[in-house]
């Protein structure tokens, strides 16, 4: 579903990604872990071209990301959820969810709202459809953001540290929604510090450090028997 | 000479008319200015170097030269460019509003640009990640938020513009200041007349202030931060 070949990304002299190769299969849940500054968020943001790679090729759903037109097509199929929610503050929860289907997919308003309400129900926020984001808690905002991304009926979902900006008591409600999605067979790439989630939901864990993939494998194998000394050091600090 | 308020009081109907004209001139200039400014602000932020260069040149010129000079320049240049042999009736109003509109376009463009740039990058990233094009993201996500933020500086600009419209007296537009000056000269009562003129301007700028405050309250209701 996603093929990444020899991906490099630099900001000026700073090399953030130094040659990433990776293949993400349909319905797979891939969890990317690693210390801050290891390039995991940059890697994720390259997958829908929010970052322009310096070098390398990315193919998503059979389409090579090499032109503006291609990128806009692919972004419809790839949902993204951000660390800081990025809800549109001038719109209600429901308006946030229906905007892109209406103007990008040209879905009729009534139809879009019906789907929007279903999605808000799915993330447990039926009663908040008319609220503006600043009336919602962090966890609620993030769940609206997930509903907003799902409204485009994406084939792939990218999660960029979606629980890192949340108060601890709200992490669970967001992870629960993500778990449901995984169970339904969504293809997901998840950058997270939630090791419990990685272990429970992930089909594969990728450990990144210093801009390369240091180790990857099934969660049990990576967490219980890490081969790379870097992985061992990282896990010993956080587990 | 004795100060006499009668002349000022007698001239109220004329001043009312002149003040109305001042408001109309200002409104016309604002309409032109806002449209120009929107294009210039977007051009200024464009990825295309040529668009940026056009916007920067425009803004530098109209901010960097006196409005008074611009008024004359437009007044004399337009008939020349359009090859008019005789000036149409009331041409001065057209030239005056155009000059002020061009001038305010430069200032408002910078206000819009600051407003657009003040919106968190995450907003356009979220919009783009949903498949919206650059222009869709501007139209539905960035500009509505930016507009709310630029209302206070926009109010400043409108007030400045209203006061600067007095410069149009130089091309014989009978707006508030021009009318006051004529009556002051005719009645030999400059002090009461200019006090009256000042009060008219104050009243009108107050109206703009109130309107700005109202807009801020109205648009701010879903934005508690």
Would the CB atoms of B130 and A149 count as touching at under 8 Å?
yes
pLDDT of residue B95 exceeding 50? yes
- For residue B124, give the chain A residue with the closest CA: A86
Residue A164 pLDDT: 92
Window A:150-169, CB contacts with B under 8 Å: 152
Check residue B172 and give left, alpha or beta (phi > 0: left; psi -120 to 50: alpha): left
Facing A90 at nearest CB: one of B120, B132, B145: B145
Residue B85 pLDDT: 86
pLDDT of residue B224 exceeding 50? no
Considering only CB atoms, which chain A residues are within 8 Å of B145?
88-90
A184 in B contact zone (CB under 8 Å)? no
The model's confidence at residue A193, banded by pLDDT at 50, 70 and 90, is very high
B118 in A contact zone (CB under 8 Å)? no
CA distances from B128 to A68, A72, A122, A239, B123 (A): 11, 8, 24, 36, 9
Would the CB atoms of A82 and B126 count as touching at under 8 Å?
yes
> Could you give the ipTM of this predicted complex?
0.92
pLDDT of residue B225 exceeding 60? no
Would the CB atoms of B148 and A149 count as touching at under 8 Å?
no
Facing A89 at nearest CB: one of B127, B140, B145: B145
pLDDT of residue B1 exceeding 70? no
Q: How far apart (Å, rounded) are the C-alpha atoms in residues A106 and A148?
A: 15
Query: A197: which 2 tokens?
Result: 């989630």
Residue A72 pLDDT: 87
Sheet holding A29-33, edge to edge: A78-81, A156-160, A187-191, A29-33, A204-209, A212-217
What mean pLDDT do residues B7-29 have? Answer: 94
Q: Which tens digits make up the pLDDT trace of B118-161?
A: 999 999 999 999 999 999 999 999 999 999 899 999 999 999 99
Percent of chain A past pLDDT 70, that is, above it, reads 100
Q: What is the pTM of this model?
A: 0.85
């Amino acid at each position: 579903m996603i093929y990444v070949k020899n991906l490099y990304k630099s900001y000026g002299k700073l090399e953030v990604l130094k040659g990433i190769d990776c293949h993400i299969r349909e319905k797979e849940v891939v969890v990317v872990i690693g210390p801050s500054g290891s390039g995991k968020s940059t890697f994720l943001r390259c997958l829908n071209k929010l970052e322009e790679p310096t070098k390398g090729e990315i193919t998503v759903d059979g389409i090579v990301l090499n032109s503006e037109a291609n990128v806009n097509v692919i972004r419809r199929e790839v949902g993204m959820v951000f660390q800081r929610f990025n809800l549109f503050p001038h719109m209600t929860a429901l308006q946030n969810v229906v905007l892109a289907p209406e103007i990008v997919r040209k879905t009729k308003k009534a139809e879009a709202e019906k789907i929007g309400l279903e999605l808000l129900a799915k993330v447990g926020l039926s009663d908040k459809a008319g609220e503006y984001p600043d009336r919602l808690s962090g966890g609620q905002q993030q769940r609206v953001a997930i509903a907003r991304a799902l409204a485009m009926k994406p084939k792939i979902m990218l999660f960029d540290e979606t629980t890192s900006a949340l108060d601890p008591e709200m992490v669970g409600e967001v992870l629960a929604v993500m778990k449901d999605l995984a169970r339904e067979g969504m293809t997901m790439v998840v950058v997270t510090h939630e090791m419990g989630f990685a272990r429970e939901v992930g089909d594969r864990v990728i450990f990144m450090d210093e801009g390369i993939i240091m180790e990857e494998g099934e969660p049990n194998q990576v967490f219980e028997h890490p081969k790379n000394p870097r992985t061992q050091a990282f896990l010993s600090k956080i587990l | 000479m004795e100060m006499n308020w009668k002349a000022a009081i007698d001239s109220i109907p004329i001043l009312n008319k002149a003040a109305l004209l001042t408001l109309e001139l200002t409104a016309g200039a604002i309409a032109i200015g806002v449209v120009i400014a929107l294009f210039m602000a977007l051009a200024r932020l464009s990825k295309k170097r040529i668009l940026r260069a056009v916007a920067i040149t425009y803004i530098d010129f109209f901010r960097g030269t006196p409005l008074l000079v611009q008024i004359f320049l437009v007044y004399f240049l337009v008939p020349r460019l359009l090859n008019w042999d005789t000036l149409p009736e009331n041409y001065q109003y057209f030239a005056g509003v155009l000059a002020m509109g061009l001038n305010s376009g430069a200032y408002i463009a910078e206000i819009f640009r600051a407003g657009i740039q003040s919106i968190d990058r995450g907003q356009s990233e979220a919009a783009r990640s949903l498949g919206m094009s650059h222009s869709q993201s501007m139209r539905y996500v960035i500009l509505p938020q930016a507009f709310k933020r630029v209302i206070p500086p926009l109010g400043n600009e409108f007030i400045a513009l209203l006061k600067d419209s007095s410069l149009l007296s130089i091309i014989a537009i009978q707006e508030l200041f021009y009318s006051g000056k004529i009556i002051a000269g005719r009645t030999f009562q400059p002090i009461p007349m200019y006090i009256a003129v000042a009060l008219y301007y104050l009243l009108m700028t107050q109206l703009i202030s109130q309107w700005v405050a109202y807009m801020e309250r109205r648009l701010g209701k879903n934005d508690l931060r």
